[in-house]
Chains A and B, each alone.
Chain A
Amino acid sequence: MAYKFPSEEWIKEYQKAINTSDAYKQSGSTWTAGPVCLVVTANPSIGIEKDVGIWLGLHKGVCEAIKIVSLEEAQKAPFVISGDYSRWKQVVLGELDPVQGMMQGKLKLKGDLPTIVRYVKASQDLVQCASKVDTQFIDE
């Protein structure tokens, strides 16, 4: 069954994928820097009326919580990565490396860059988890 991205159903599957990933369990095992929020910026033409935040409560290799939040709530996370729908679609499909995306300005980062750099493998593993979710893209 394919899950619409972004949606409550999709994020629950994503959390399962993260928490069953041995790779992420290892690469994120020392992560204590707090939640990461992924923000899909508004795009009314495909039905995203306002910014959507995906709040990942990451701690020591485990995704303890996941929820969809408003932009205002998202900004409270110590790490916020923002991009438009097409960019996140590329990330989920494994076509855009998130760190490269940040380097090229396709994704915007708010947060401590050295911490992100230190956990570059963990970020790759998180993307791997996203690509494992059977995803239905709303622009297709």
Chain B
Amino acid sequence: MGGYKNRILEIDLSASRIEVTDVADEDKRRFIGGSGIAAKLFLDRFDLRADPLSPDNPLIIMCGPLTGTALPGTSRFVACGKSPLTGIWGESACGGNFGAELKMAGWDGVIFKGVSEKPCYLLIEDSHSQLLDASDLWGKDIYQVTDILKARHKGGRHAKVFAIGRAGENLVRFAGIGNDKGHFSGRTGMGALMGSKRLKAIVVRGRGTCEPALADEYKGLRQVLIKKVNEAVPAQALRQMGTDAGMDLGMMTQDVPIKNWTFPPDFDLSANLGGPVLAERYLKRVHSCYACPIACKRVICVEDGPYRTEEGPGPEYETCCTFGTMILNKDLAGVIKANELCNRAGLDTISCGSVIAFAYECFERGIISKQDTDGLELRWGEIDPALKLIEMITTRKGIGAILAEGSREAAKIFGKGAKEFLVEVKGLEAPMHDPRGFHGMGLAYAVSTRGACHLQHMTLYIEQGMSAYPEVGLKSSYKGPLSDGKAQMYLISENLGVPCNSACLCIFVLGCLSATDFVDMLRVTTGFNHFDVRELLESGERINLLKRTINAIMGIRREHDRLPKRLLTSLSHEGCIPDMDLMLKEYYELRGLDEMGRPKRGTLEAAGLKDIISRID
């Protein structure tokens, strides 16, 4: 079987013991890889009721079968475990070069258990792995530790580094993990989980290759797919403007949240914060993940002024919203500075910016005051207080200690009705796409297995008309602010997006390809006989049900599948809001969930998950 190395490192940090494990071949086909296999391992082998920051909660880092091939968009890998932010299933995928290098070193993934007595890092050089002392690295930011470890382990191939910053060390619940400075597992607090294990970094060098099962067919397919991606306009937009290309388009379609999700579109904001401006004023060069023809990553620099930065990774669209539109800040240089601070600290810019915007609103409404903020005045339009809050959150100083718990917990601590201004689902702050403009995204936020999520499905691309998959019933035109038919659309887009994540294929690349192309990628890489679109979608359903079962065991019920009040409040008289009752009713029926939101017994049986039925009762 191609696509897999059939070896997973299993590291007990408490015992400093390194072992090798694997999953059954049939499970590879059933759960594809990435977060699919990680969820299977998690459910089978770990205590789902463990505290997320306890030694019993594993950190599982997995590649997919496509990771490390030279097919387009195959850089990705994922960090999984019980989320310190949400308390349910957590996962966060990442691009860059680490995943491909891990595969080339001969590993499908790494499982970390326990907790190290002192700070450590893992060095993987092909089949040889060792835990090393990281006492001298503790307290360093992600850029520093990356430079140090690359210098320390130079020679031959460049080492690839996956590290936490001070936010992860300090157990900030939305801390992420950074790969080579410019790529992040941002969402769901996997950096805090890593920090709880006193694991500062993973360094990998691999000299192997990732050979496909069907080498001849693979070569031809690769050429065809690269050509398709290069010709796709969304790919061209991403290459020229980065993900922030979405700012101008999103402002038009009411996708962009403004002033903590309370303002209607403001074209002055997008004119100052959009991808064209980023490219014109600050772009030094573009950068790509491993094997990616798109190259959506920006290398930027603010050369002068109060927000001067080093040359480094530029902000994504989401960051331009959270530190731009969400607090009415029009200064893109300030956004870039916030992005650099978050990158260095290892903070998810979505959650961090969202919790800060939430704090701004609480300040405006008198729920918190200067006494609570160490004298900071959190005024809309001003980025400077946000920059200070980033440091306070990172170090858990003052109000930063409260905000570091995430917005849901912060609202509980603030009280005084603060929860009315929250925009999170299951504790995960919503990404920067407004469901009032695109109702299918509302359903996605409500039912996604990691909380409000824009990446576990293809809804963003389909509902906004950037992609279409007629071969699986996803047409090219959906009306955004309509709820009719969206449950069916979302279900299929989820069944397509979930295996995309599990295969560790970049969703931007899939957005330029067809479902059949994706099937071909998996088939030629793995050699799965008779693998087709039907089986692809079935695998998506199976993996989704597996994760939903994990969440059900953790106590997630129908009442948690909801949108916050703010997203159910229209921005204008003529605006409409998602019909959640309709979409949830239809989705539950289509997905085969009971009235409590759990997979029905028959649903699990039909999906080939009979073995986990007993776990849910």
Contacts and interface: CB of A to CB of B under 8 A. Distances in A.
B355 to A, nearest CB: 30
A50 B602 CA distance: 59
Interface in B456-489: 464-468, 476-477
Nearest to B250: A120
B465 A103 contact: yes
Interface stretch (A9-17, A68-76, A111-119): A111-119
Contacts of B467: 104
Interface on chain A toward B: helix, strand, loop, or mixed SS? helix
A96 B233 contact: no
B99 interface: no
B197 to A, nearest CB: 43
Given A102-B233, A103-B233, A109-B233, A117 B248 contact: yes
Interface residues of A, number: 20
Contacts of A113: 233, 236-237, 240-241
Interface string B233-249: 11011001100010011
A66 interface: no
Nearest to B249: A120
Contact of B274 (A97, A102, A117, A124): A117
B465 A100 contact: yes
Given A95-B477, A113-B237, A113-B240, A120 B232 contact: no
A99 interface: yes
B252 A118 contact: no
Given A95-B477, A103-B234, A117 B276 contact: yes
A5 B236 CA distance: 31
Nearest to B267: A121
A118 B248 contact: yes
Contacts of B252: 99, 120-121, 124
A105 interface: yes
A96 B477 contact: yes
Contacts of A96: 477
Interface string B267-298: 10001001110010000000000000000000
Contacts of A118: 248, 271, 274, 276
A95 B465 CA distance: 12
Contacts of B465: 97, 100, 103-104
B235 to A, nearest CB: 10
A58 B30 CA distance: 56
A64 B505 CA distance: 48
B234 to A, nearest CB: 5
Nearest to A108: B233
A117 B233 contact: no
Interface in A80-131: 95-97, 99-100, 102-106, 109, 113-115, 117-118, 120-121, 124
Given A99-B252, A102-B233, A103-B466, 18 more contacts: A95-B477, A97-B465, A99-B249, A100-B464, A100-B477, A103-B234, A104-B233, A104-B468, A105-B231, A114-B241, A114-B279, A117-B237, A117-B249, A118-B248, A118-B276, A120-B251, A120-B252, A124-B252
Interface of A: 27, 95-97, 99-100, 102-106, 109, 113-115, 117-118, 120-121, 124
11 contacts: A27-B267, A100-B464, A103-B465, A109-B233, A113-B236, A115-B276, A117-B245, A118-B271, A118-B274, A120-B251, A120-B252
